[in-house]
């Protein structure tokens, strides 16, 4: 049941990614060239809604629909946040896709995105291989 619900949320997210066009390389380019406010407005309004929801969930100690306590995994700072963050930014601009959109691009029939996916998969391996030697 839980998996079905998560799957449906995935479908929802995939639809919104396509219909907002944030999965389009052209939109990403216009964002990084400051030619269009579309992406900036989407990201900002998404964060506002997300932050407000998280605030309310914490404040009201809301439980999941299954009655469980909600625990949010915390992101911690380490050097990789900066170095990895910049490297990801380069890849985002080149491919026009961050991780979620890669899957939406493939699903939409943009099959060249399979190359982005294979690259990202290889990138995860590269990280796993270099992990013990990288500064964190």
Partner 1 sequence: MDLLAQPWPWYISGPLIGLTVPLLLLVSGKTFGLSSSFRHLASICSPNTKLSYLKENAWRKESWNLVMVAGIVIGGWIGMRFLSHHSFPLLPAEYATAQGMIKLFLGGVLVGFGTRYADGCTSGHTLMGISNLKWASLVATVCFFIGGLLITALAQIIPF
- Per CB under 8 A, contacts with partner 1 among 18-77 are 18-26, 28-29, 31-33, 37-38, 41-51, 53-54, 57, 62, 64-66, 68, 70-77
Number of residues engaging partner 1 in binding (CB under 8 A):
109
Look at the block and give the residue holding tokens 């990403």: 28
What is d(CA 86, CA 80) in angstroms, rounded to the nearest whole number? Answer: 9
Q: How far is the CB of 67 from partner 1 (least distance, A)?
A: 10
Q: Indicate which single residue of 2, 59, 60, 133 sits in contact with partner 1 (rule: CB under 8 A).
A: 2
Q: Is-contact 108 52, C-beta < 8 A?
A: no
Residues 76-135 that bind partner 1 (CB under 8 A): 76-78, 80-100, 102-110, 112-113, 115-129, 131-132, 134
Closest to 73 in 3D by CA, of 54, 56, 60, 52:
54
Q: Which residues pair with 69 in a beta bridge?
A: 63
């Amino acid at each position: 049941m839980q998996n079905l619900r998560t799957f449906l949320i995935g479908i929802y997210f995939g639809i919104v990614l396509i219909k907002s066009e944030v999965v389009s390389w052209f939109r990403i380019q216009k964002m990084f060239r400051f030619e269009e406010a579309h992406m900036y407005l989407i990201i900002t309004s998404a964060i506002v809604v997300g932050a407000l929801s998280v605030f309310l969930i914490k404040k009201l100690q809301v439980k999941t629909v299954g009655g469980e306590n909600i625990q949010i995994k915390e992101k911690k700072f380490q050097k990789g946040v900066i170095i990895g963050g910049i490297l990801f930014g380069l890849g985002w601009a080149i491919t026009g896709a961050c991780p979620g959109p890669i899957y939406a691009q493939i699903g939409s029939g943009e099959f060249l995105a399979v190359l982005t996916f294979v690259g990202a998969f290889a990138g995860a391996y590269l990280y796993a291989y270099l992990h013990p030697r990288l500064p964190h």
